[in-house]
A and B are shown apart, each in its own frame.
Chain A
Amino acid sequence: MAEAFKFELVSPERLLVSEQVESVVIPGAEGEMTVMAYHAPVMTTIKPGVVTVKTAEGKEERYVVFGGFADIVPAGCTLLAESAVAVGDIDRADLTRRIQEAREDVADAKDDQTRSKAEQFLSQLTTLEGAILPA
């Protein structure tokens, strides 16, 4: 049994999770990472993806986040997400709309740098869609 630590998932609209957890999987900008107690201090931006939280009671909860960043210190982990919902509550139409918007961004991009950024974002979104919507 791993030691528990404090995890908080905050979106601008509300505080979603604030509890003792065993481990959290965060979709970091440079790869997924699992955070456990006494993690070295790290600050990372996150890409659209699924956050998997394993609570101290052994339950597993999954949340979809769309970008944001994580602040990890030995005592705990705070995830500031631009928008976050539990996987069960995900709105398929909303996701489709976001993908559509991302496609438009790619089409509208004026220079290579913004285009590659937009394309990257789009691919992250489609991966996410594949991961949570099996149908």
Chain B
Amino acid sequence: MPSLKDLRNRIASVKATQKITKAMQMVAAAKLRRAQEAAEAARPYSERMGAVLANITQAIGDGGDAPALMTGTGKDDVHLLVVCTAERGLCGGFNSQIARFARDHIRKLLANGKKVKIICVGKKGFDILRRDYAELIIDRVDLREVKTLGFVNADAIAKKVIQLFNEGGFDICTLFYSQFKSVISQIPTTQQIIPAGVASAPADASNGGNAVYEYEPEPGEILSDLIPRNISVQVFRALLENAAGEMGAKMSAMDNATRNAGDMINKLSITYNRQRQAQITKELIEIISGAEAL
């Protein structure tokens, strides 16, 4: 049975923990809002990019000499997985969810006799995947120093991937990230970025989408400029989704922690009060029986 003093100390320490988790939750909430705004602000660009790409691929047609980034190498022997996770923990199952998803995928690919290479974005995913697949990880990107996620960060990752592709390092590149659905639900998602699957242009007559474009310079040249940029945009979008998801997960994890701490304080207080009462009763009995003995 812990003494009264022990109980008092424990209550104090749980209260201190609760304060910290509460503060972390509020910080996460504020950051979540900012991350969501950033994700929303980036949406017009990727939407327009998609529309323009669809348009231009249509113009070139299937017979055209589309760049290799789009058509791929025609093989699927070597897979590159870009696994995006958070830099920090304390966000519930967020990181392990993505890592598990990636691991299942890797196992499947390896079972089919494919070669797998991994690029880790974010420290946590690296830490988890390192245990099983350390020899497959060819690179890791550290974004810990980055305060606000900029397009340059995504661009740097995309450039690495493209360079590797041009060197013939892989055939298919897949992006792993967590799609932000809501604060309590983030869905691990894969997206193939090389070869880029471009949806055919929607028939959009309202803005003259079917009009014959003039291209300056040649469509092929624009396309070869556009595709790498599109990859950057996809990576950027994934990073932003991830950032929002991380904050959402952290918020709910810290909310749970705060509530748990509250429950714990309640239980400890009850034990504390009971014990105090017991002690008072004991002392009274001692006094009374002492008086009676006289």
Contacts and interface: CB of A to CB of B under 8 A. Distances in A.
Contacts of B41: 13-15
Interface of A: 8, 10-15, 28-30, 40-45, 69, 71, 73-76, 78, 80, 82-83
B212 to A, nearest CB: 7
18 contacts: A10-B45, A11-B151, A12-B42, A13-B42, A13-B151, A15-B41, A15-B45, A28-B216, A43-B56, A44-B216, A45-B221, A69-B52, A73-B208, A74-B208, A80-B48, A82-B151, A82-B229, A83-B151
A69 B214 contact: no
B18 to A, nearest CB: 37
Contacts, number: 85
Contacts of B263: none
Interface string B206-237: 11110111111101011001100100110010
A11 B56 CA distance: 20
A73 B216 contact: no
Given A12-B42, A12-B151, A29-B217, A41 B48 contact: no
Which of B151, B211, B213 has the most chain A CB atoms closer than 10 A to its own CB? B213
Contacts of A41: 208, 211-214
B150 interface: yes
B151 A71 contact: no
B150 A13 contact: yes
Interface in B123-154: 150-151, 154
B151 A69 contact: no
Nearest to A42: B214
